[in-house]
Amino acid sequence: MTNLIDGRAIAEQIHAETAHRITALKARGVQAGLAFVRVGEDPASRVYVGMKEKTSERLGIKSTTTVLPDATTQAELLALITQLNADPSCHGILVQAPLPAHIDQAVIFAAVSPAKDVDGFHPVNVGKLMLGDTTGFVPCTPAGVHELLIRSGVKIAGAEVVVLGRGNIVGKPMAAILCQKAKHADATVTLVHSRTRDVAAHCRRADIIVAAMGVAHFVKADMVRPGAVVMDVGVNRIPDPTAKNGSRLVGDVDFAAVQPIAGLITPNPGGVGPMTIAMLMRNTVRAAEVASR
């Protein structure tokens, strides 16, 4: 079918634009710098940071990675962030989640300078997003979903959008992006969650569904109105005896059943995932541009 939104291809478009901006910065003697901080040896975190490191290198962003042991104290992590905040060669800081249970994630995210918060998690940047202040950084995954909608020609203004999931990383910022009185926004957004009485009924009236609940194959065919746009943000590991390691990753959407009904749909993998990294790189370059003015 031809209704796939190719996240990899659109991410490459954005990388090309970002690379052009990196070249312009280098012509002015500025090297964009991004610092990754990882605490512990969570396997998924190792993979995610590795992918971001490779993309940074490919685009010409100078990245550094600090890996701290699981036993690192909150005070020690805060001391490292203070050091990175003061480093003029570092324009963006990414502290990879999840963090060990003894470290308060909210405290750590709030310690990163808002000007270097390329993940968009600092309270200042969250507040700017809610106010429609475009000088802040927007979290990378919802920003990536927004770009996919824009570059796929989806009409957002006036659309009924249902966002599944109220998390701080995707759900809440996604709703805030789409309901702004702004270009490529002006949608009517419903945010559903685990306490919503009839999730399926809300989904069936949606022009656009953004699935970010973290439940494998939650969105079924009978929940989708024919022609609706379906964006699958979920990353869920399910058992698969045919797979090499006995499991595989799937999204929140029952893709095989929903694709024939949807007007447009993101594959998973290959949809939203590549966009998250593309938006991180773009945020980092913007941070470097602002810092060098």
Q: Is position 52 annotated as part of the catalytic site? A: yes
Cβ count within 10 A of residue 121 = 24
**Three-class SS of residue 138?**
coil
Options 52, 116, 128, 172, the catalytic residue:
52
Q: Return the bridge partners of 34, or none.
A: 63, 92
Cα 101–106–112 angle (5° rounding)? 115
Beta strands, E only, 19-175:
33-39, 62-68, 92-95, 160-164
Rounded distance, CA 170 to CA 159, Å? 19
Provide the β-strand partners of residue 68: 39
96 is an active site residue = yes
Marked catalytic residue, from 116, 117, 119, 207: 119
Q: Decide if 119 is catalytic.
A: yes
The most distant pair of C-alpha atoms in the chain lies apart, rounded to whole Å, by 56
Spatial strand order of the sheet with 208-211 comes to: 188-192, 160-164, 208-211, 229-232, 264-265
Catalytic residues: 52, 96, 119
